[in-house]
Structure 1
Amino acid sequence: MMRLLTFFLCCWISSSVWAADRVVCVTRDRAEAPQGAVIASTLQKGIVLAGKYKQKGDDVTLLVAGGTYRLDKTLEMTARELGLTAGSLVVRPLDGAKVIFYGGVEIPAQYIEQAPASESRIRPEMRGKIVKVDLRKAGITSLGELRNSGFSRPAVPAWTEVFVNDQVQKLSRWPNDTMALMGEVVETGSIPRNGEMDNRGGTFRYFGDRPSQWKSGDPKWIAGYFAWGYADDMVRIAQIDTTDKTIKLDEAVMYGLISGADYNRWYVVNLLEEVDVPGEYYIDYPNMTLWLYPSEKIEKLSLSLLAEPMLALEGVKNVEVQHIDFECSRGMGVYMERTENVILRGCRFHNLGATAVCIGKGVKPYDQYAHTGETNIPVSRMIGNLAQYIYKNPVFDREAGRNNGIVDCVIEEVGAGGINMGGGNRITLEPGGNYVQNCRISRYNRVEKSYRPAIQLTGAGNRVSNCEIFDAPSSAILIQGNDHLVEYCDIHNVCNEIDDLGAVYYGRDQSEQGNKLMFNYVHDLSAKHRVTGFYHDDGACGMYVYGNILYKAGLQPVLLGGGSDNHYKNNIFIGTPYGLYVDNRLENWAKGTIDIIK
């Protein structure tokens, strides 16, 4: 009997040592660290130390002292640092303090000066209101410059943005809060969608005399909806003829130029002459100079610089990141790949230039502006041309891992969508089990608009639950794949700018079956253009739609675009002329989409 008790006691002691709780603390003040904690001086060193214990099988807590941690490269949580299996890791602030991972740089006050009165490009009424910063003197050696952005363009890091007291400022633009109507199309330009790859920019006429006031040098940038209302673009201007009142684009846009619809509109960005409302700025890239009309008194002036993901988790299991703020970066907040049971809980993603969270690989940006490229190369830590490639290869395995969650998070003021989430296998229908739960996502299209939703689902068997999504020019949720579930979500005031798109959208691949929309509340969508609550596009099939409420949900709450086996049951439609619109497009102009399932 004594030998048996001794045996059990030894086993208990061995088990306790093997599964001991370990604490690592990132701090420069040892006095604030818990007793017995191992101290690390930097975040990456803390991760490495915690990983050594985790690989031994310990359950580790990595405490991060309150403060702002500036990142000039990605924080790595990969199999190299944390191991493949063994114990668990929780990363959280020490004593509930505020912890910010920061991808930008603050400009010292001594480099912020009044703009000279001699600068002729500044409007007379703006004199004395605009400040100027010589960025080279402030220690900035390089910037993310303006680039093409729009429909079928790759999802890549944003240009450098400006923030005053952590409030985003916006590139100067005209018109300030709307867009100008396009006039007659003089030259369509080449149409990449039709295989025309010579990149000829089109020409259109404009109304009014505003361009005559622009003195800033080239290149000038123009953005807008140049053909169809779901396809925005931003390209350089080749020439403005103020006599003939024409604007010639320097580059092609996907569908060429078409005018005549109310959504065929344009605006220009980044002109010093148009810095005329609080919060606008202009960057002179050749001379590395910032001109800013601050939105409020400057206590803190910062620029986003980091283009890489702020945090990358790859090939790891059983990690939870809690209550960290990810702010002021050109790139994405968190990237995951080949992860399992990794959870982001209670985090805030704010003032990022790209997507807040990406789970799974993307596709290397195409060399040509094409709808589906010829060189489709999977790539880590980037979304790139994923949206186009999935139409070319609908069963692409993003290696997104399984059972990963984004829970109780806030995503706001980000540039190119909220969460891009893969997982699961479309051939075997093995579910990914990845999920987004109880998150609030708003203002998520500051830089890129077309097909950069709050949540994009790919693969098979992933879930979105209890989320609020609002205040965006384009879609809330984009579904690609099978057996996804969207439930108990409150979606409102999205699709504020586009035409012919839906708050929840999927389509063009008839094999995307088994998806469910259940108990969602979709409301207060614009009826100005062809906005839809649930959009089953180009033959979308096999969705189960149950128990949803659609109130003032666009021009048509539901559009069934030629597909079959879509089951609607116990849904309520309020405040619209009719509930569902059904057409037969697969028998006519949309026949080509059947090639995808073949």
Structure 2
Amino acid sequence: MTLRISTPARRVACWFGLGACVLPACATALTLHVSAAATDTPADAQATAATAPTQANGDIGLRAAVAVLAASKSRFADGNVDRLDIVLGAGTYRLAQPLQMQIDPSWRGTPVTLSGAGANRTILSGARIVRGFHAPGTNDAAAARLPAAARGHVLVAKLADSGIDDAGTFERQGFGIRVTPAPLELFYRGEPQTLARWPNQGFATIASLPGGEKGTSFTVAGAPLDALKAEPELRAMGYWARDWADTMLPVEAVDPSSGTVTLAAPAPTFGMKTGQRMVFENALSQLDRPGEWYLDRASMTVYFWPPAPLHDGDIEASVSNQLLVATTASNLTIHDLGFEDTRGNAIEINGGMNVEIDHATVRNAGSVAVWSTASNSHYRFMNVWNTGEGGFVVFAGNRQTLGAGNVSVEDSVIHDYALRTRAYRPAISLSGVGDRIERNHIYNGPHAAIVFNGNDHVISGNEVDHVARETGDTGALYTGRDWTARGTLIEGNFLHDIGSPAQPKATMGIYLDDQGGGATIRRNVFSKVNQAIFIGGGRDNLVEDNLFVNCTPAIYIDSRGLSWQKGLADDPNGQLRHQLMLVHYNQPPYSTHYPSLATLLDDAPGAPKGNVLRRNAVIGGEATSIDMRATPYIHVGPAFGARDVSFVKVMPDAQRSTFADLRIAPSSPALHEGFPLPMFRPSAVTGTGKQQAAGHE
């Protein structure tokens, strides 16, 4: 194995013929050219790392390039190399194990770049192609469970024939459970397929609870229990007691005679309630439509009903838990790459700083697209979809010192981002201090689009639509239950078509839950969002210069800290007061940065004080819904209505959803009385800009 290296001219002269530099400043930039066609065994990688960069007449495999990186500590530390570029040629790089990029602290100042030929041309894949599909044999005992309608359509393949001997493990998943990699998943022409399930669409509902609400047994009307009883690894997913907490659990027993299904203990977190939604999955007996599949784990045999005639390469199965893991990475840039088909997180950035990922795609990740604990890092122009447990998870900033993390997620498109666990797996989860979410388009999600915690974040210029489609008691933007989490600015966003028609009053636009507060919400546009801004008993929120069209109500405020949630506010050992003590709320920097927080416990802490509403425009719908006990604490300033705002485009207000429909006419009286034009501006990545977000090819 040899290595093709590009080394630009040295910055200062070296003694000719001596092979060494007189001055340490005569460093070079080292470029490793990687080919998808190169052999890339561990032995190849070891040999390449041992000789690089002394040989220079060939492309190397990706594993070899990372081995060179790991072996280059001395070259970086002594200044012989001041930059490393790993350039991946076009093609698909199939990884059974993640790339491990461990950046040694001794050369953190050296820039490292990992790049490709474009996000749709250079692909890092965690999948293997599954070949050898054929009709089930007459001696296939499992195939006897197939429905009559599926026979003649379902094909089978042995995973071992495609080099796959590990299907992963199923673990409980869902609300309050640590995220673990998904088991093996099946993809057809790049799209995830559906594990055979009942019912085929939507949910069934729990009819009765023979073991009570704290038990593990339930009944479901119309379920095919005789067939389900024969399923060896049947699972059940449900919103067992709360419409915002779903859990997938193994089924322990099915009793057709009594109509009872029993889950494996322990019981769901909040117990179970009649009328709640659930679905069975992983049942070969329910494989009855194109696109469904099942894995017999005992024989490692896949059963699949293809949507169309199969061609070589159509079917892939995920094998790698991650694709890229960077540890203590600093000055790392990743661009023009596609990441796809992994069981766990596609990209993990563990610690470090100054990491940038741009013009990249991530799809078909069993967990999340990007998990990051780095600081001073930026994730831009990315296209993320078909993920199991969310899009981006970012932890950055110091909540004790209020030191900013300076991490941003920008100019990206994120959709269909919670396919495994549905609730509290947002497109972007942000925790820490001083981070930004700007100019993204987020859509098609069952629960929240953005969940944020911490201090002094900026959420600006995003378009969010068609989220909170399956769950209740959630918001497109969600935070709460922390008095110390303050200072976040939510500005210039466009939220529209939020929630589910089946639960129109159970979802919100911006949801400050359980006495959360200290936010500034201004110059946003809301269209067709019930309870567009929901303040759940919190204080010190400024809501100004927002435009609401057909929102009922536009702004809701309650006094829960004085009523049904008074115990949470008053409990000296409760969550809210415990968080105060953790950050020393009455000492600098908190006492100086948030003066009203320092005196909170002496100022009726459960009262929704300090909330200000002013210069908001409400067209259609209802302006405000304020709890009677909250009213004395709320300052309501001037507001505008339908007579004050007119639109350039003439159409029924109830039909307005696009931003173009909501352009305010210059003649509107509100503009002459201090109401500003909306800040939101459609960008290359909102609406129709997915391809530009994915790569600049």
How would you bin the TM-score normalised by the shorter chain? 0.7 to 0.9
Shift of 1:103: 1.0
- 1:167-566 matches, within 5 Å, as 167-188=191-212, 190=214, 201-214=215-228, 216-251=230-265, 252-260=267-275, 264-299=276-311, 300=313, 301-307=315-321, 309-360=322-373, 401-527=374-500, 528-529=502-503, 530-553=506-529, 555-566=530-541
Which residue of the partner structure matches residue 166 of structure 1?
190
Aligned to 2:210, what secondary structure does the other structure show?
A: strand
Which residue of the partner structure matches residue 170 of structure 2?
146
Aligned to 2:576, what secondary structure does the other structure show?
A: helix
Which residue of the partner structure matches residue 573 of structure 1?
548
Residue 167 of structure 2 contacts residue 319 of structure 2 at CA under 8 Å; is this kept in 1?
yes
Aligned to 2:511, what secondary structure does the other structure show?
A: strand
Separation of aligned partners in 2, 1:457 and 1:507: 13
Q: Which moved more, 1:470-479 or 1:240-249?
A: 240-249
Shift of 1:143: 0.8
Q: Which runs of 5+ in 1 are unaligned?
A: 1-7, 31-35, 191-200, 361-400
Aligned to 1:113, what secondary structure does the other structure show?
A: coil
* CA pair 283-580 structure 1, distance change in 2 beyond 3 A: same
Amino acid at match of 1:178: G
* CA pair 524-205 structure 1, distance change in 2 beyond 3 A: same
Shift of 1:15: 8.7
Shift of 1:20: 3.7
Cα deviation per residue 1:415-440 (whole Å; 9 max; x = unaligned)?
A: 11000001110011110001111010
Separation of aligned partners in 2, 1:324 and 1:95: 6
Q: Which runs of 5+ in 2 are unaligned?
A: 1-10, 15-20, 39-54, 569-574, 581-697
Match of 2:133 among 112, 116, 129: 112
Separation of aligned partners in 1, 2:548 and 2:22: 62
Amino acid at match of 2:88: V
Separation of aligned partners in 1, 2:195 and 2:564: 40
Match of 2:65 among 34, 46, 50: 46
* CA pair 226-209 structure 1, distance change in 2 beyond 3 A: closer
Separation of aligned partners in 2, 1:491 and 1:317: 32
Residue 486 of structure 1 contacts residue 516 of structure 1 at CA under 8 Å; is this kept in 2?
yes
Residue 12 of structure 2 contacts residue 26 of structure 2 at CA under 8 Å; is this kept in 1?
no
Cα deviation per residue 1:492-528 (whole Å; 9 max; x = unaligned)?
A: 1111100101111001111000111110111111253
Residue 222 of structure 1 contacts residue 269 of structure 1 at CA under 8 Å; is this kept in 2?
yes
* CA pair 96-325 structure 1, distance change in 2 beyond 3 A: closer
Q: Which moved more, 1:16-25 or 1:425-434?
A: 16-25
Residue 23 of structure 1 contacts residue 60 of structure 1 at CA under 8 Å; is this kept in 2?
yes
Separation of aligned partners in 2, 1:498 and 1:88: 44
Residue 13 of structure 2 contacts residue 26 of structure 2 at CA under 8 Å; is this kept in 1?
no
Shift of 1:338: 2.2
Aligned to 2:532, what secondary structure does the other structure show?
A: strand
TM-score (norm 2): 0.72
Residue 117 of structure 2 contacts residue 336 of structure 2 at CA under 8 Å; is this kept in 1?
no
Aligned to 2:108, what secondary structure does the other structure show?
A: coil
Separation of aligned partners in 1, 2:398 and 2:251: 44
Aligned to 2:396, what secondary structure does the other structure show?
A: coil
Separation of aligned partners in 1, 2:124 and 2:220: 45
Shift of 1:588: 3.2
Separation of aligned partners in 2, 1:311 and 1:478: 25
Shift of 1:165: 2.0
Aligned to 1:340, what secondary structure does the other structure show?
A: strand
Separation of aligned partners in 2, 1:28 and 1:310: 15
Separation of aligned partners in 2, 1:97 and 1:469: 21
Amino acid at match of 1:257: M
Shift of 1:450: 2.0
Residue 413 of structure 1 contacts residue 442 of structure 1 at CA under 8 Å; is this kept in 2?
yes
Separation of aligned partners in 1, 2:206 and 2:326: 46
Separation of aligned partners in 1, 2:24 and 2:309: 56
* CA pair 233-207 structure 1, distance change in 2 beyond 3 A: same
Aligned residue pairs, count: 527
Which residue of the partner structure matches residue 115 of structure 2?
92
Separation of aligned partners in 1, 2:559 and 2:116: 55
Amino acid at match of 1:424: G
Shift of 1:137: 3.9
Cα deviation per residue 1:260-304 (whole Å; 9 max; x = unaligned)?
A: 4xxx11110011111112111011112222111113332222111
Aligned to 1:283, what secondary structure does the other structure show?
A: strand
* CA pair 334-286 structure 1, distance change in 2 beyond 3 A: same
Amino acid at match of 2:292: E
Q: Is 2:603 the partner of 1:589?
A: no
* CA pair 29-162 structure 1, distance change in 2 beyond 3 A: closer
TM-score (norm 1): 0.83
Separation of aligned partners in 1, 2:549 and 2:26: 59
* CA pair 189-288 structure 1, distance change in 2 beyond 3 A: farther
Residue 219 of structure 1 contacts residue 236 of structure 1 at CA under 8 Å; is this kept in 2?
yes
Separation of aligned partners in 2, 1:437 and 1:572: 24
Aligned to 2:173, what secondary structure does the other structure show?
A: coil
* CA pair 15-258 structure 1, distance change in 2 beyond 3 A: farther
Amino acid at match of 1:343: E
Amino acid at match of 1:156: T
Shift of 1:9: 8.1
Cα deviation per residue 1:211-245 (whole Å; 9 max; x = unaligned)?
A: 23435333321111110100011112223232332
Residue 164 of structure 2 contacts residue 319 of structure 2 at CA under 8 Å; is this kept in 1?
no
Between the two proteins, what is the percent identity of the paired residues? 26
Match of 2:26 among 18, 22, 35: 18
Shift of 1:459: 0.9
Aligned to 1:236, what secondary structure does the other structure show?
A: strand
Separation of aligned partners in 1, 2:458 and 2:389: 23
Separation of aligned partners in 1, 2:256 and 2:119: 59
Shift of 1:484: 1.0
Shift of 1:38: 7.2
* CA pair 39-85 structure 1, distance change in 2 beyond 3 A: farther
Shift of 1:66: 1.5
Shift of 1:16: 11
* CA pair 294-216 structure 1, distance change in 2 beyond 3 A: farther
Separation of aligned partners in 2, 1:46 and 1:219: 41
Q: Which moved more, 1:132-141 or 1:513-522?
A: 132-141
Residue 23 of structure 1 contacts residue 37 of structure 1 at CA under 8 Å; is this kept in 2?
no
Residue 145 of structure 1 contacts residue 285 of structure 1 at CA under 8 Å; is this kept in 2?
no
